[in-house]
Amino acid sequence: MADKVLMKGNEALAEAAMCAGCRHFFGYPITPQTEISAYLSKHMPKVGGTFLQAESEVAAINMVLGAAAAGVRVMTSSSSPGISLKSEGISYIAGCDLPAVIVNVQRGGPGLGGIQPSQADYYQATRGLGHGDFHMIVLAPSTVQEVIDLTFEAFDLADLYRMPVLMLSDGILGQMMEPASFPEGTGRTLPEKDWAVTGTQGKRKKNIVNSLYLQPDELERKVMERYERYDAIKKTEQKCERFMMDDAEYVVVAYGASARVAKNAIVAARAEGMKVGMIRPITLWPFPVDAIREATEQAKAFLTVELSMGQMIDDVRLACECKKPVHLCNRTGGMIVKPQEVLAKLKEISGGAK
Amino acid sequence: MSVVFDRPKALSPVSTHYCPGCTHGIIHRLVAEVLDELDLTGRTVGVAPVGCSVMAYNYFECDMTEAAHGRAPAQATGLKRANPDSIVFTYQGDGDLAAIGTAETVHAATRGENITIIFVNNAIYGMTGGQMAPTTLPNQVTQTTPYGRDVKVAGHPVRVCEMLSTLDGVAYAERVSMDTVPHINAAKKAIKKAFQYQVEGKGFTIVEVLSTCPTNWGLSPVKALGWLQENMIPHYPLGVYKDIGAEVQK
């Protein structure tokens, strides 16, 4: 492990992508992902990589598709309204079984919304970002170090499962600075990209990268094959952090920036004698269903802390099969939930401090 | 006995789905002949569009991809930037290139992306059953201009070669036609030049091919060729609109 450096989340993500072997980036300016593009425009040319500012988000994601089809590691980054524009291309990338990393540094919405941090794109990220039956792996870092580690992971998972991976960050994580270090790599063994369109060189049959299947039985078979892969991912790739969960009766569920706020509240609640813990999803898809299910027995209630009107709360309800009440503590529109608000909510649902 | 006519190696030994009398088959053949003659098939990646030629990935023997509607030039940009040694071409119709994909086309051109676009202009949306295209002529009757294209309502047709020739990134832009054998021979020369320029790294090349759509024009194949000559060529004059090779020679 190398020495620690002090870096902004967005810049750390950009550097991590380059360390992970990404040499191709296509993007379009939007706040608050700005530093990712700025960093890569400065550093990609130094290593012979491609930084290209596209004419639109729509063009950028289709450039990503082209580069992915050619077999290279490729990334694009944007923020909420720009991700909506990319949804067409993301659906095609999923339909073509191509690996690519897409970054969403979330801001408030809907519409042009605002430019302050938000988690209101949870539904969009986890329910299939585009038309058709598909999923993408969604990773949600909560510290700058985790931004780095999960960026490495994102490229590996994309290559391993041949599918788009979404890094779901937000304006807080993107802008804040923390000391972090860069790992050498993940050590995973990844499959050959023998499907890539790099020219046959007269040595093999032609490859076709395509999402069109006009015969319904063929399309159904393709989609079902993809869902078999998704089932395998659900079994092996669920990831979460358990914080003070051993004897927890009240289980906070929060990810990303709001999990940082929740942690402060939990420490304060523990100081007041409340048995509170947290499950922090690191993969939002696949959602850490097993961890929630496991905690359902011991929990008196769940509380999700979200920078939205409550979106992940649905996944918690599904995972605990509504066996325990699931409450919400939230702010939205770019407003940040405060630890005191989380603490007050914990007291309210537990019927007051012990 | 010597073989006087055979299938180009770059053309797959399959039947196409194109309507009788459609000139897509001829244009496919010309592209394939050029790939054979320049010995490029093994290095080439083609990008099929959305439209009548959506399944072009089945008809060429090189590596192929299929793009979202209008996005072929963006996808080709990604393919070429990732693998600069490859030869990348897109094969697009008028709706794909000059309506939904105008931004991708114009910006790939102005960036001087070292790719080749084969642009098939038949003045109509074929695949979806004959709606107005950006290149539909004034007063032309289509499914969505049943009283003829009224330019006051539907606007004017787009002249793609003229528009793109103003951009500095364009190395070569020529408009050709499928209506006669001499014009088809000229079309092949243009396509060959476009690919040759890409091999030489000269920049963005486009060959616009005036083509027929007997099915949606409601004409026999022969009458459709006549309609192209009488109506399309006067509106879309044939010729070289930009050639940086020729400019250098001057």
Amino acid symbol at A24 = H
Q: How much is the pLDDT for B90?
A: 98
Q: Which chain A residues are within 8 Å of B82, Cβ to Cβ?
A: 24, 50, 66-67, 70-72, 74
The shortest C-alpha distance from A212 to chain B (Å) reads 8
Residue B158 lies in a domain: yes
Ramachandran assignment for A231, one of left (phi > 0), alpha (psi -120 to 50 degrees), beta (any other): alpha
Q: CA–CA separation, A177 vs A12, rounded Å?
A: 9
Question: Considering chain B, what percentage of its residues have pLDDT values greater than 90?
Answer: 96
Residue B241 has pLDDT above 90, yes or no: yes
ipTM: 0.96
Residue B167 lies in a domain: yes
Q: Could you please report the per-residue DSSP string of A110-170?
A: STT--SSB--TTHHHHHS-SSSSS---EEE---SHHHHHHHHHHHHHHHHHHTSEEEEEEE
Q: Is the peptide bond before B234 cis (omega within 30 degrees of 0)?
A: no
Residues in contact with B220: Cβ distance below 8 Å, sequence separation at least 6, in sequence order? B21, B214
Residue B12 lies in a domain: no
Residue range A306-335: mean pLDDT, rounded = 98
Contact A70 B43 (CB under 8 A): no
Q: How much is the pLDDT for A53?
A: 98
Pick A198's closest partner by Cβ from B74, B86, B107.
Answer: B86
Q: Could you list the residue range(s) of the whole structural domain that residue B242 is in?
A: 24-249
Q: Which chain A residues are within 8 Å of B80, Cβ to Cβ?
A: 66
Q: How much is the pLDDT for B191?
A: 98
Contact A200 B67 (CB under 8 A): no
Instruction: Check which CATH number belongs to the domain holding B37 and give it.
Output: 3.40.50.970
In this complex, is the C-beta atom of A28 within 8 Å of any C-beta atom belonging to chain B?
no
Chain A, 78-107: which have a CB under 8 Å from a chain B CB? 88-89, 92, 96
The shortest C-alpha distance from A39 to chain B (Å) reads 19
Residue A354 has pLDDT above 50, yes or no: no
- Short-list B236, B100, A33, CA closest to A41: A33
Confidence of residue B185 (pLDDT cuts 50, 70, 90): very high
Residue B19 lies in a domain: no
- Short-list B27, B78, B217, CA closest to B136: B217
In this complex, is the C-beta atom of B56 within 8 Å of any C-beta atom belonging to chain A?
no
In this complex, is the C-beta atom of B42 within 8 Å of any C-beta atom belonging to chain A?
yes
Contact A212 B54 (CB under 8 A): yes
Interface probe, candidates B79, B115, B127, chain A, greatest A C-beta count within 10 A: B79
Domains of chain A with CATH codes: 5-198+224-236 (3.40.50.970), 240-350 (3.40.50.920)
Residue B4 lies in a domain: no
Reported as a single tens digit per residue, the pLDDT across B9-26 is 999 999 999 999 999 999
Query: Domain count of chain B?
Result: 1
Q: CA–CA separation, B150 vs B137, rounded Å?
A: 9
Pick B78's closest partner by Cβ from A56, A67, A96.
Answer: A67
Q: CA–CA separation, A227 vs A229, rounded Å?
A: 5
Pair of tokens at residue A120? 């209101």
Q: What chain B residue is nearest to A88 in terms of C-alpha separation? A: B68
Sheet containing A74-78: which strands, arranged edge to edge?
A: A50-53, A24-27, A74-78, A100-106, A164-170, A137-139, A283-285
Residue B15 lies in a domain: no
The shortest C-alpha distance from B182 to chain A (Å) reads 32
Contact B71 A69 (CB under 8 A): no
Confidence of residue B248 (pLDDT cuts 50, 70, 90): low
Residue B62 lies in a domain: yes
Reported as a single tens digit per residue, the pLDDT across A202-225 is 999 999 999 999 999 999 999 999
Q: What chain B residue is nearest to A51 in terms of C-alpha separation? A: B81
In this complex, is the C-beta atom of A7 within 8 Å of any C-beta atom belonging to chain B?
no
Confidence of residue A128 (pLDDT cuts 50, 70, 90): confident
Confidence of residue A352 (pLDDT cuts 50, 70, 90): low
In this complex, is the C-beta atom of B90 within 8 Å of any C-beta atom belonging to chain A?
no
Contact B71 A206 (CB under 8 A): no
Pick A64's closest partner by Cβ from B41, B78, B83.
Answer: B78
In this complex, is the C-beta atom of B105 within 8 Å of any C-beta atom belonging to chain A?
no
Residue B16 lies in a domain: no
Contact B42 A199 (CB under 8 A): yes
